[in-house]
Amino acid sequence: MGDKDPHNSKKKYMIPQQSYLHDDLIIEEILTRLPVKSVLRFKSVSKQWYSTLSSSDFANAHLIKSPFSHPSAPVNTLFIMDFTSFYVFSYDDDQISGNFKDNLVKLNPGFSVEKDTLELTGSCNGLVCLTSASAQYFILWNPATRNLKKYGPHGYSKHFDKPNYVYVASGFGYASSIDDYKYVGILIAYQKNKITDCIVCIFSLRENTWRKIDFGNDHISVFGQALLVNEKLYWYAYSEEAGDLLLSFDLAVERFDVIYNMDLDRSDMLGVMSGCLSIIYCESDFSDVMHILEPPAIVKSIDLPEELNLDEDSEMIGFTKTGKFFVTGPLGYKAKGFNRTLGIVDTSTRPMKYTMLLRFNKLIEISRYVPSLLSPFPIEPSEGYIH
């Protein structure tokens, strides 16, 4: 009587085992959802974590889980350059007022831009592409990881027979069906305002090689940097027979197509809105009209306030989560001048409200930007996609 069960006593005072998460679960389900800066800090945990978090497989998984990686996702981060300086700008719809300069971060690229003018070709999945005005090379740069790679020269421009002028129209983008990033340069030689030669050179990041392809549109002049929409590149173009038109290039199959009957003028603006190609028709006597060309061939139009004073140097990009969109232009409403502004237009208000966010002393180029861990270096044969 009164004896205690020793087994019950042990159970009463047993210390529970500690539970823990396996490294694979932490990496796959937690770290892939963290901001880039946080992931970079976790690389110092161990050699194994450093190796895993530096791999292309992890970088791709991290990008896929980013809420802003899909082309139609809201835009909250922009890459901005003014030819000598580079910035990342973040915007929050919930920020009602304040000094938006606090959202602007100046970047240290780690390379000089004084010897050769660089132009913003585009940004795709966290990789920023810059092309030299001399058309001899381009740079892939990941501002988040501070990694960059200079590619070139491609060597094709030497075949031009001493033209008076060589112009390069460039583009950069990703083709998911072949898991490859490609740079496209269209080099056009002129003599006495006539096209004398045209060369299309393509660089494949997966193959780490340049190659030349046939253009097939030698009578067409191509302008500027391309817009990336649904894994196709789009440029403004012109021919004496058809006037202003659009030129597209399918990155996967490497095929050019000419799009006629768009009623275009080079004073109009091309943009990418919610993953769709868009055009703003700038009319001096009317309010500007933005047409969003949604697939399949559905056009959504927005009448913009005339006071925006948009011009051919203006750029527009993306909708935020509340339906606002970014636009660059002169110094705000009814202003003229070479200084440029970054503003945002709220299409939900009547009349539409324009808010100037930033002012620059130079012309600026702008692109949607999604921070990522992707590498700007050639893809190793053992990684990713298997041929």
Q: How confident is the model at residue 160 (pLDDT cuts 50, 70, 90)?
A: low
User: Across the beta sheet with 118-124, what order do the strands follow?
Assistant: 118-124, 127-132, 138-142, 147-151
Q: Average pLDDT, stretch 332-354?
A: 73
* Main-chain phi, psi angles of 240, to 5 degrees: -65, -30
Task: Check residue 332 and give its pLDDT.
Answer: 47
Please state the domain extents for the chain: 22-65, 66-368
On the question of a cis peptide bond just before residue 296, with omega within 30 degrees of 0, the verdict is yes
Is residue 108 scored above 60 in pLDDT? yes
Q: 38 by DSSP, 3-state: which?
A: helix
CB under 8 Å to 336, separation ≥6 — which residues? 309, 330
Contact residues for 354 (Cβ-Cβ < 8 A; gap 6+):
305, 307, 308, 332, 333, 343, 344, 345, 346
The secondary structure of 209-238, three-state, reads EEEEECCCCCCCEEEEEEEEECCEEEEEEE
pTM confidence score: 0.86
pLDDT surpasses 60 at 285: no
Q: What is the 3-state secondary structure (H, E, C) of 353-372?
A: EEEEEEEECCCCEEEECCCC
In sequence order, what are the residues at sequence separation of 6 or more whose Cβ sits closer than 8 angstroms to the Cβ of residue 27? 49, 52, 53, 58
> Cα–Cα distance between 186 and 198 in angstroms, integer?
7
12-52 pLDDT tens trace: 545 455 445 567 777 778 888 889 999 999 888 888 888 88
Mean pLDDT for the chain? Answer: 81
Q: pLDDT per residue over 211-257, tens digit each? A: 999 888 878 889 889 999 989 999 988 888 888 888 999 999 999 99
More confident residue, 47 or 84: 47
26 DSSP 8-state letter: I
The residue type found at 198 is C
**Widest distance between CA atoms in the chain:** 116
Q: What pLDDT does residue 5 have?
A: 53
Q: Which helix (H) or strand (E) holds 283?
A: none
**What pLDDT is attached to residue 385?**
28
Report the alpha-carbon distance of residue 89 to residue 359 in Å, rounded.
13
Lowest mean pLDDT among 12-21, 71-80, 202-211, 377-386: 12-21
Residue 387's pLDDT band, with cuts at 50, 70 and 90, is very low
Pairing mode of beta strands 243-250, 232-239: antiparallel
User: What is the amino acid identity at position 318?
Assistant: G
In this prediction, residue 386 carries a pLDDT of 27
Strand order in the sheet with 316-319: 298-303, 289-294, 276-281, 269-273, 316-319, 324-329, 340-346, 353-360
Q: How far does CA 317 lie from the centroid of its chain?
A: 10
Predicted confidence (pLDDT) at residue 101 exceeds the cutoff of 50 = yes
The whole-number average pLDDT for the span 350-366 is 86
Phi, psi of 343, rounded to the nearest 5 degrees? -130, 180
Q: Name the 3-class secondary structure at 52.
A: helix
Quote the CA–CA distance of 11 and 21 in Å, as a whole number.
Answer: 25
Match domain 66-368 to its CATH number in 3.30.460.80, 3.40.50.150, 2.120.10.80, 3.40.390.10.
2.120.10.80
pLDDT score, position 309:
67
Mean pLDDT of 346-356: 84
